[in-house]
Structure 1
């Protein structure tokens, strides 16, 4: 099954505000409305049968509502695999892990830049220790600042992989949004999945091809980053910039079967 591993869809009451925030933060013009209905319609037009919707709590107080929404999404839409979230400032994280597992959610999204902590925050260690055999993590990695100032740079994730060798994780944006040279040094070739979201509008084509060439082909996942980009447009740009054959592009869209199974479900 073709999977879009990296999307966002917001509660109807928040969608307009969330899209405006993305436009301002990343200086882009989101093509999507940010709603589940618009997301699923665009995925269907693109030939994609399953999408991962990522939820993240920007404060500890948002952990429960964010996970409420993730659970409701996955229950309501068979095409969606929802990822819940956690925050190191949320003390009852063990109960959230149990709740998410009981609801069939096996993924967690961390966006430390938006959540206002660093990936090397020591408060995360017991969470990773407890979750590394139970959950798949998707980490936002990188930003348009030097790695030492970035809460989520490729080197911080590489250090986590060293400390928690059983940690299963996806490094978003090919392992480092606007930090692809550092991703090439720290993450490419390692036992980590890389997703392609929000890369092609910014990355040098030669660097894109080098990352894709040097990373295990079964560990590359297609991601659109909807609502920033349309899934069909993202597929076309990736294929054209990287010079991918149809077979290779299809493989990137199908590699998530190893994570979720060919017929969906986390």
Structure 2
């Protein structure tokens, strides 16, 4: 099964505003309109079977609405795997973990930079401890700043991985958006059974040489295809990833299907 592990879709009433914000914040022209219908149409056109739709709450008050939306998308669309969210400022996080587990959500998205906290925030520690058996965490990592000035640098992630060896984490953007040299230092050269990487928002910024280095250093079976849609289109991302990394068709399809094994491990309680 081919899976896009990193996408976003917004409620139709706010999709155009969300896309406008992304265009302005990242100085890009989004490939999608931000709606679930457009996302699923583009995934099908690119030959992908499922997509993980990520939700993140930029404030504690948004946790419940964001998770409700993730549940509704998963319930309404068999192609969608919903990831909910938490915020360290949300006091009733234990009850919310139980609620979204019962609702069938498979993971939790954290975006420290957008959500307004740091990845080494001590309020996250009991959340990680409680959630590690039931959820996969997809975490935004990196930014175009020095690591000590970045809320989500690879070094902070490495500490969490070592502290919670049973906590399954997908490091978005190949371990560190615009911080790939730091990602190689902090996350490369060592096999971690609780770490995966997604390819989203990387190919537009790395050189082919750096991408090949990342693919050589990070375990190939731990690389997951992701687009960051609506920022980038699935078909275009597949073509660019294959070309820049020098992948054969079989190697590309392995990256597209590696997430299937991750979800299988989650179901078995392994990994």
SS in 2 for 1:64: helix
The CA distance in 1 between the partners of 2:134 and 2:43, in whole Å, is 28
Partner of 2:162: 162
TM alignment of 1:1-266, pairs within 5 A: 1-188=1-188, 189-191=190-192, 192-261=195-264
Per-residue CA distance 1:13-38 (angstroms, 9 max, x = gap): 11011111111111111010000000
The CA distance in 1 between the partners of 2:15 and 2:83, in whole Å, is 18
SS in 2 for 1:175: coil
Shift of 1:162: 1.2
SS in 2 for 1:29: coil
The CA distance in 2 between the partners of 1:144 and 1:214, in whole Å, is 22
The CA distance in 1 between the partners of 2:89 and 2:16, in whole Å, is 28
Per-residue CA distance 1:180-235 (angstroms, 9 max, x = gap): 00000111344210000010110121111011011111100000110001000000
Shift of 1:135: 0.6
SS in 1 for 2:174: helix
Shift of 1:74: 0.4
The size of the alignment, in residue pairs, is 263
The CA distance in 1 between the partners of 2:35 and 2:84, in whole Å, is 17
Shift of 1:261: 4.4
Deviating beyond 6 angstroms after TM superposition, the runs of 4 or more aligned structure 1 residues are: none
Unaligned runs of 5+ in 1: none
The CA distance in 1 between the partners of 2:47 and 2:217, in whole Å, is 28
Shift of 1:259: 2.3
The CA distance in 1 between the partners of 2:106 and 2:231, in whole Å, is 25
SS in 2 for 1:174: coil
The CA distance in 2 between the partners of 1:122 and 1:215, in whole Å, is 28
Shift of 1:77: 0.4
Shift of 1:260: 2.6
